[in-house]
Structure 1
């Protein structure tokens, strides 16, 4: 089974790192009145004007990217399931749900009285059509790998039959994989031209311009109107973070996806700064069984690489200290993360060389690794570290779009991988299911890992955290990856706007951007 995660985290983190190295604008922060959504400190912000980094990928929820499409889609679509501030699933168009005792049937009661923008009613038939469309989607299908069938029990009740228990299903649905579109628009492929949903805002196509700005007007009497406080929302896709910062200073934006290199200036401007773990950065071992490069099948070799890299130094030099140096990839603000383990691979080149020698590779070994311009910020540290270990790297240059496709065909590669805000989703995304960055999970080749995974997947929720901690400890000991640090995503907002970051969303959906 394959879950598809896009390269949004890779792009965002790498661009932020490159921008930080290149330096940021030296313009002097300015303020302006906040009453119309400018960059100042007004007591009341009427309109949201957000710099969201990337353009919308698709108005079709089956093709959209979880990473940066969230704010666009959350304006015009309602989801079956939402997430709260702690990334826990909460009701939306599905007003309540219940699992069967064996966790293989999920029954959902649906909200009534909701209509799509084309006048069609949202009901069980519409929900079934949407879930089938999402399950078949090249991107959205990741949420429904274990959904065997979905049927309407009556006009406002649906039933999902699972082929196996899936404790991450509701999380993925809430993350951005349960937006409901008009079935007629799905059938006619009208979503290629624009959204047809039931969301809190109407898309003002006439005032919008692709790749420039997207304007949304709040609807009257939307069922969840209180969650969306801004009468008007304008989203500006601005990839150039210096330009975005300047727009924030000039008052054209009152909230933005930020580069932490500008934090000092943001504080001078009296802006709010919000951040949260978003992605892990380091070396991914695609060949931890040694099929391509025999050395990588040795635990001591992988451990040697982990000991050799100066994670804190890389975080400072490249990551602008926007994150946490750690060897783990369960979020550092979560229940599974164990701070005491972060010293396990404290930088020790002598120890690294000794481990290589013990494994039979005192002189190192040769390996090919892919390289793309967006990873060049990390390449000097990699060259120096591998060189000291005697590991001879032949870098194979490729364009960024080819990196996601080709990198996992190499035995190891530099990685920036999106994280999940749900512990069981982290297990499936990072360990057990095939991903573009982990095409050969290899769990079956490691009996101790397989046994723990089986226990976790069968355990009650109350027991899962302790079992996941045991699994995390085992994976760190095996050097399953060489994680250097968890990178934060950072957001600036003017006084009067509060942003709640959510791990798993590169840019928060609109419900997480509030007045305050």
Structure 2
């Protein structure tokens, strides 16, 4: 079967996982593991800079190899989880998720730059009491005027420093906003048009823009674009330097306001190394101290070298966008047949080596409303063939799958496509594969699935359900969002609005479960597995907590 690869050769990723129990379990710690040097040549290690090698060797520096290059450093205009791993240590918002604890399915919301808040009885007005004495990294004071500057930058088209990219990117955050204003130096008010049941949790999110605060003085001095080269926030680490495609270096903020999260290390270096084997070799050789997403195939060999492995479920899932403009896929029976053709249990057990759990719902593990017992369909290739015949395709049909080689957290995603390709061939559907680097692919997804392509796929899912506003809502059809398959169902829009405005969690979950069933009935999106996140590290690195999130708190890292 045909497979074409279109790539800038810049982005492969890695996603290790392995639950031996159903999701809903608590975090498991895997003991140290290692890779034999027989993995192959040390291709790519020569690209590690001498500066990074030297820095990694210093006692108070931790160098982390991540799966892909980072995007923009402007928090209001930045995309990808990979980038937010860095930004969350520089910039802060009103609240945050506590990522210093494990053994929870959803990290709790805790105060950040707002030390407390009050929500009106009708759920429309949020009054934030801001933390006093906090300073940005450039020494300027954090206060309510600084908050307003940032809000204006995200939302006010007439504001001198308006960030146009932020408005579209952060629709998920501000779609219910009515107004905002300064009450006094340390009090800020936000009013909503309708209640939002998870407004506080959305304030803590990132990866598709994030409502975190930049130093107004730095922008007034250097201009709007200066955030990319001189990002200044209030966080536990300060930006030192970035060499695009090679390394980003942060320094500990010795004056950080939260004594409990003062960094233990002096310097944190993020190295984008897209090839998984090269990341693993960099770890074994000591060029870096930690890596994200080693291959599931490498875990036992990494153990043998005395390297430490930590593993935890993460709030995401992999799923296929179905192109509703393609004639065969306009018939729900065809879409149901495709779902029934997928051997998701085999995929998780054999293809992912157990480092995944089959996924059957658009509601992800770790997010609100997750139901481990829900099934959109059962694996039944014979019934799938009968449905195809009933729909007028007894001999199947040809289509194309556009796929990405991966970004943050991914490993062997093209292998996923090949597994699905084989499953579809068994019911007569011949699907070719074309793969793209991650940056190109996200541009494609944001433009809508191209003609002749039946499916696209990425990982998504959050501890908030805001991502559904970006993916399944009708007003998120490209170019306004990532509803790339052109799924248009007014009922879904209504249910999303009801879930956001629910008065309590039970009511919110009730609406989310109706969304879950509606998507399954329409078979508009087909999930296939939930990943397990993995980090590997040198034995002298400690203090890392792998909370169930796409990004992690590195303030507790120690290097012995």
Counterpart in 2 of 1:461?
A: 504
Counterpart in 2 of 1:420?
A: 462
Question: Cα offset for 1:345?
Answer: 2.9
Of 206, 231, 247, the residue aligned with 2:265 is 231
Counterpart in 2 of 1:253?
A: 288
Task: Describe the SS at the equivalent of 1:340.
Answer: coil
Q: 1:275 to 1:353 in 2, by over 3 A?
A: same
Task: Describe the SS at the equivalent of 2:363.
Answer: coil
Say whether 1:508 aligns with 2:555: no
C-alpha distance in 2, partners of 1:401/1:53? 13
C-alpha distance in 1, partners of 2:517/2:559? 41
C-alpha distance in 2, partners of 1:49/1:88? 28
For residues 184-333 of structure 1, what are the structure 2 equivalents within 5 Å? 184-187=217-220, 188-189=223-224, 190-205=226-241, 209-237=243-271, 238-259=273-294, 260-268=296-304, 269-277=306-314, 279-287=316-324, 292-316=325-349, 318-333=351-366
Maintained 8 Å contact 2:421/2:432: no
Q: After superposition, what is the alpha-carbon deviation per residue over 1:419-476, rounded to whole angstroms, capped at 9, x for unaligned?
A: 1112x325434433613244634231xx4x5665454344322322244234323433
More helix by share: 1
C-alpha distance in 1, partners of 2:196/2:485? 20
Of 106, 111, 115, the residue aligned with 2:135 is 115
Maintained 8 Å contact 1:329/1:486: no
Q: After superposition, what is the alpha-carbon deviation per residue over 1:289-342, rounded to whole angstroms, capped at 9, x for unaligned?
A: xxx234423332211110111223333454343211121232335563333334
C-alpha distance in 1, partners of 2:366/2:90? 31
Counterpart in 1 of 2:175?
A: 145
Could you state the TM-score of these two structures normalised by the residue count of structure 1? 0.80
Using the TM superposition, name which of 238-247 and 368-377 deviates more: 368-377
Counterpart in 2 of 1:33?
A: none
Of 340, 354, 363, the residue aligned with 2:373 is 340
C-alpha distance in 2, partners of 1:401/1:221? 36
Task: Describe the SS at the equivalent of 1:442.
Answer: coil
Q: 1:251 to 1:229 in 2, by over 3 A?
A: same
Question: Cα offset for 1:158?
Answer: 1.3
For residues 307-456 of structure 1, what are the structure 2 equivalents within 5 Å? 307-316=340-349, 318-333=351-366, 336-342=369-375, 345-370=377-402, 376-393=414-431, 401-407=439-445, 408-410=448-450, 412-422=454-464, 424-432=465-473, 434=476, 435-438=481-484, 440-444=486-490, 447=491, 449=492, 452-453=495-496, 455-456=498-499
Say whether 1:132 aligns with 2:146: no
Question: Cα offset for 1:415?
Answer: 0.3
Question: Cα offset for 1:285?
Answer: 1.4
Q: 1:196 to 1:401 in 2, by over 3 A?
A: closer
C-alpha distance in 1, partners of 2:383/2:454? 21
Q: After superposition, what is the alpha-carbon deviation per residue over 1:49-72, rounded to whole angstroms, capped at 9, x for unaligned?
A: 322333442332122235112332
Q: 1:123 to 1:441 in 2, by over 3 A?
A: farther
Say whether 1:481 aligns with 2:525: yes
Say whether 1:64 aligns with 2:78: yes
Q: 1:302 to 1:27 in 2, by over 3 A?
A: same
Structure 1 alignment gaps of length 5 or more: 1-10, 19-23, 30-35, 40-44
C-alpha distance in 2, partners of 1:258/1:171? 26
Q: 1:89 to 1:51 in 2, by over 3 A?
A: same
Counterpart in 2 of 1:167?
A: 197
Say whether 1:92 aligns with 2:112: yes
Q: After superposition, what is the alpha-carbon deviation per residue over 1:84-112, rounded to whole angstroms, capped at 9, x for unaligned?
A: 24333321111122332333322211111
C-alpha distance in 2, partners of 1:512/1:353? 54
Structure 2 alignment gaps of length 5 or more: 1-9, 17-33, 40-53, 100-105, 156-162, 407-412
Counterpart in 1 of 2:24?
A: none
Maintained 8 Å contact 2:65/2:279: yes
- What count of residue pairs does the alignment treat as equivalent? 477
Using the TM superposition, name which of 210-219 and 229-238 deviates more: 210-219
Task: Describe the SS at the equivalent of 2:469.
Answer: helix
